[in-house]
Amino acid sequence: MRRIYLPWNTSRPQMNAARHAQDERRGILKALSHGQVSRRDLIKLGLFTGAGIMAPIRGLNPFMPNLLAQTPGGPGIPTGLPPSPLFGATPFSQAMPRFDVLPRRPIDIDSNDPAMMPLDPIPTKLSNQTAQAVDPALGGGWGPIEGRPPGDMWAHQRWETNKPRVAVDVTQGCASTNHAYNPGVASKLNSGINAASAMDLKFHPMMPTQFDNSVWTFNGTIPPKLLIGRYGEPILMRHHNNLPCDMTQNNGFGRHTISTHEHNGHHGAENDGFTGAFFFPNQFYDYHYPILLAGFTSMNTGATDRLASSPTDAGGLVNVPGDWHETMSTHWFHDHMFSFTSQNVYKGNAGMFNIYSGLDRGAEDVNDGVNLRLPSGQAAKTGKSWGNLDYDVNLMLADKAFDQSGQLAMDIFQFDGFIGDVMTANLAYRPYFEVEPRKYRFRILNASVSRFFKLALANASGTAQPMYQIANDGNLLPRAVKLMMLDQQGIAERYDIVIDFSKFTMGSKLHLVNCCEHQDGKLPAADLTVGQALSGASHDPCVGRFLEFRVVRPLSAPDKSFVPGYSETYPSSSTVPTSQWPASPFLIPNPDHSQLPVSAERTFEFNRGASATTTGSTAAESGSPWGIATNGMGTLAADYARISAAPKMGTREIWHLNNGGGGWDHPIHIHFEEGQILDRDGNIANVPMAERGRKDVYRLRAAGTLSISLQFRDFSGTYMEHCHNTVHEDNAMLLRWDINGNGTAELNPMPSPVPTPQGCTFIDPTDIVPGA
């Protein structure tokens, strides 16, 4: 099978040839990323195949055998891209930084107090269309300051009853030094990192600083950013676009237009990061996150159920409407620009979002009969009654690649999927993290472009150790699951786990190990045992140990956290009286769909090859390698002005997700609503316990099928469904679906936005799939 990087023992002549080929290929990719040529143009010229593989023209394709490197009568030497240089960086020689917490500022848009108005201009329900001069690189003239599409259809839904109370001001910017790092914890809880020290944008101290346009992150800095919120406290996140106006200033990949998706927020479509609602440099977009429990319009509308609640600053609870079974915890946010999601996310447009509730409070010592007391921190010690991060750690995992000068690099013509050869955690190359001998919660996000992970915890001798999975995607599971190895983790899936370091002696070192081997970006090649992953025999550079835990500090305070259902994790009775131990093994049981009528069933098949039946700026290019077939119709390439499904407000549907082939896998993301898996390959027994909670990303597996149950409530508008191997998504494996806001049988399709720096226009749907 063709490899996507060269092995470590490649000969010097062959490495030089591969580097020469990579340079020539980079020139073609640069022209593509600058919009000077299209993918279709390059295929017509014979330079690339439809799968994104450079045609076997000697000197251009580093993947094809170099005839000069063959020995007479012997096999050809396998070739590939040059490995990323590490500049002397060694594993576990740098501390892993905790996430950088975004500042939260109180806001009251109805107040006359300037201190309560931290954003200028004041946020408004309708898009702010105040005119500003447009940079000549963007066409000049005049255009709106806000990139949100204008008019009532893109106004913030439920604004009057959920006006923002917290403002978060963030900028998408070019790589720069972080002079305002806020990890939200003391230095000793951040492996000794001094937050007051300037932090250059490097993946390791031995590696070069990234150029301005090599990396584009939130606020232009590392570590990744963390948004913190709680139920019933609406957030207004103003996202500024401060990327270069000249789209050619991108170091070979990435597009300067962005659309921010809060994955998987329960809010209006205007705040979902719709792929066609992108905005330009020098504009901002006001995203309104009301943070409401699903079902708030139909269940517990009087907010009388104490389990449906949010923590107060004083240590109590405030009830909120909605179904407490729909409580969410771990989200993330990232770019969703049409055809450029993979490039922009890989370039740094990704952060995480912790959502707190009465059940998942983030204060393990609060015993109020609602709080599950998961590992976090203690209000009595920190003075914070919710949202403590001391022992609640966000982990963003991603594979990266670098050119020979050490700058972040991406081959945007790998249409099967892009795989890097450098493993990072929180954008740090193979770091270490210091821990106390107690329980920690890790919120693990797969933020890769195409790589799957399969994680195990190994001790110094390479023996797997237990982990307790408590959440899958944004949601706590019905019950925690004790595992020696996690399931495969597809792109965009979040797995929350608890590790109990009290079982290990002071000075112990343990490692998270990746056991999922790739040979290309289509799907995993093999799931290895821990022993195999640690043997060094895999040709995949991202297999093996990638994060080291060091048990180095005595307890700062007694551990008062629990993993309900696993008594071996409970504190001693001298620390927490047995009367306060969990009476139930449950975390959050699933909502009961069994009594809800099924209003429709739909089948979506994810296939290789697609027909482009529409044209224009809303449609993918013809010749796209991936597509989706709806209800037995033909496989279609993406067009965000085509409506493929239109479930009615207040209904339940069953969606069947089918993988059309055995040579690839697709982690499918359905925006807005959480679903429950009913069966895998026709049988619920094929669904592991850790996958039986609410989910928003569904791994199909090779030639696999899934059936899921979904409800559609509370908000209306235009949403998406797509493969979260974002290379597949960008190459046409995406569709649009609408929620019919008036609840009638008649489809009332929304027009599609067509943004420009000078203003946004709209077009009617280009197509409506029969049966939508």
Residue 188 to residue 165: CA distance in whole angstroms: 32
How confident is the model at residue 622, as a pLDDT? 77
pLDDT at 508 over 90: yes
Residue 493 neighbours by CB under 8 Å, 6+ apart: 445, 446, 472, 473, 667, 697, 699
pLDDT band for position 20 (50/70/90)?
Answer: low
Dihedral angle over CA of 354, 359, 363, 365, nearest 10: -160
Q: How many CB atoms lie within 10 A of CB 752?
A: 25
pLDDT at 199 over 50: yes
CB of 462 closer than 8 Å to CB of 533? no
- 630 or 7, greater pLDDT: 630
What is the distance of C-alpha 195 from the center of its chain? 25
**Measured CA distances, 543 to 77, 273, 400, 422, 754 (Å):** 23, 33, 13, 10, 43
pLDDT band for position 45 (50/70/90)?
Answer: low
Residue 96 neighbours by CB under 8 Å, 6+ apart: 191, 425, 426, 428, 431, 432, 433, 547
Amino acid, res. 513: V
Strand partners, 103: none
Strand ranges of the sheet holding 697-699, from the earlier edge strand across to the other edge: 697-699, 667-670, 717-723, 734-739, 642-645, 767-768
Mean pLDDT of 277-301: 98
pLDDT band for position 81 (50/70/90)?
Answer: low
What is the distance of C-alpha 724 from the center of its chain? 9
Summarised one tens digit per residue, pLDDT across range 628-684 is 999 999 999 999 999 999 999 999 999 999 999 999 999 999 999 999 999 999 999
Q: What are the two backbone dihedrals, phi and then psi, of residue 382, each rounded to the nearest 5 degrees?
A: -95, -20
How confident is the model at residue 39, as a pLDDT? 66
pLDDT band for position 417 (50/70/90)?
Answer: very high
- 72 or 61, greater pLDDT: 61
CA proximity to 203, closest of 442, 399, 389: 399
pLDDT band for position 740 (50/70/90)?
Answer: confident
CB of 454 closer than 8 Å to CB of 486? yes
CB of 259 closer than 8 Å to CB of 275? yes
Residue 480 to residue 755: CA distance in whole angstroms: 45
pLDDT at 74 over 50: no
Please state, rounded to an integer, the average pLDDT across all residues of the chain.
Answer: 91
How confident is the model at residue 10, as a pLDDT? 58
How confident is the model at residue 31, as a pLDDT? 72
pLDDT at 65 over 80: no
CB of 477 closer than 8 Å to CB of 469? yes
Using CB atoms within 10 A of its CB, is residue 767 exposed (0-12), middle (13-18) or buried (19+)?
middle
Using CB atoms within 10 A of its CB, is residue 423 exposed (0-12), middle (13-18) or buried (19+)?
buried
How confident is the model at residue 16, as a pLDDT? 63
Amino acid, res. 473: D
How confident is the model at residue 355, as a pLDDT? 98
By percentage, how much of the chain surpasses pLDDT 90? 85
pLDDT band for position 9 (50/70/90)?
Answer: low
CA proximity to 162, closest of 317, 333, 322: 322
pLDDT at 770 over 70: yes
How confident is the model at residue 68, as a pLDDT? 26
pLDDT at 78 over 60: no
pLDDT at 117 over 80: yes
pLDDT band for position 129 (50/70/90)?
Answer: very high
How confident is the model at residue 63, as a pLDDT? 43
**Measured CA distances, 95 to 284, 406, 432, 534 (Å):** 34, 20, 5, 22
How confident is the model at residue 730, as a pLDDT? 96
241: tokens are 């676009």
Q: How many residues are there in the chain? A: 772
How confident is the model at residue 75, as a pLDDT? 29
How confident is the model at residue 411, as a pLDDT? 87
How confident is the model at residue 49, as a pLDDT? 57
What is the distance of C-alpha 119 from the center of its chain? 27
H/E/C letters for each residue in 689-740? Answer: HHHCCEECEEECCCCCEEEEEEEECCCCEEEEEEECCHHHHHCCCEEEEEEE
Q: What are the two backbone dihedrals, phi and then psi, of residue 345, each rounded to the nearest 5 degrees?
A: -65, -45
Residue 53 to residue 32: CA distance in whole angstroms: 14
Amino acid, res. 342: S
107: tokens are 């806001």
CA proximity to 271, closest of 760, 719, 726: 719
**Measured CA distances, 317 to 94, 341, 357, 386, 478 (Å):** 40, 39, 9, 11, 22
Residue 158 to residue 164: CA distance in whole angstroms: 11
Using CB atoms within 10 A of its CB, is residue 293 exposed (0-12), middle (13-18) or buried (19+)?
buried
Residue 401 to residue 449: CA distance in whole angstroms: 12
pLDDT at 351 over 90: yes
Strand partners, 402: 408
Q: How many CB atoms lie within 10 A of CB 74?
A: 7
How confident is the model at residue 170, as a pLDDT? 98
How confident is the model at residue 7, as a pLDDT? 54
Summarised one tens digit per residue, pLDDT across range 560-582 is 999 999 999 999 998 999 999 99
Mean pLDDT of 309-336: 98
pLDDT at 718 over 70: yes
Residues 148-152: contacts with CB under 8 Å, at least 24 apart: 148/270, 148/277, 148/279, 148/285, 148/286, 149/270, 149/277, 149/753, 149/755, 149/760, 149/762, 150/126, 150/759, 150/760, 151/126, 151/127, 152/126
Residue 494 to residue 473: CA distance in whole angstroms: 4
Residue indicated by tokens 């576990």:
92
Residue 77 to residue 11: CA distance in whole angstroms: 9
H/E/C letters for each residue in 331-347? Answer: EEEEECCCCCHHHHHHC
CB of 391 closer than 8 Å to CB of 561? yes
DSSP 544-574: EEEEEEEE-S--SS------TT-GGGSPPTT
How confident is the model at residue 412, as a pLDDT? 86
Mean pLDDT of 85-93: 98
Dihedral angle over CA of 570, 576, 577, 578, nearest 10: -10
How confident is the model at residue 11, as a pLDDT? 62
On the CB side of 223, CA atoms within 13 Å amount to 28
How confident is the model at residue 749, as a pLDDT? 83
pLDDT band for position 40 (50/70/90)?
Answer: low
At residue 25, the 3 state secondary structure works out as helix
Summarised one tens digit per residue, pLDDT across range 517-535 is 999 999 999 999 999 999 9
How confident is the model at residue 426, as a pLDDT? 98
CA proximity to 755, closest of 293, 165, 9, 147: 147
pLDDT band for position 583 (50/70/90)?
Answer: confident
How confident is the model at residue 2, as a pLDDT? 38
Residue 274 neighbours by CB under 8 Å, 6+ apart: 259, 336, 640, 718, 719, 720, 753
Summarised one tens digit per residue, pLDDT across range 584-608 is 999 999 999 999 999 999 999 999 9
Return the DSSP state at 606. Answer: E
Whole-prediction pTM value?
Answer: 0.94
Amino acid, res. 289: Y
How confident is the model at residue 157, as a pLDDT? 97
CA angle at 328 for the pair 325 and 329, rounded to the nearest 5°: 135
Looking at 65-74, 226-235, 384-393, 476-485, which range is the least confident one? 65-74
H/E/C letters for each residue in 271-332? Answer: HCCCCCCCECCCCEEEEEECCCCCCCCCCCCCCCCCCCEEECCCCCEEECCCCHHHCCCEEE
How confident is the model at residue 48, as a pLDDT? 59
Using CB atoms within 10 A of its CB, is residue 73 exposed (0-12), middle (13-18) or buried (19+)?
exposed
Mean pLDDT of 161-185: 98
Residue 415 to residue 726: CA distance in whole angstroms: 10
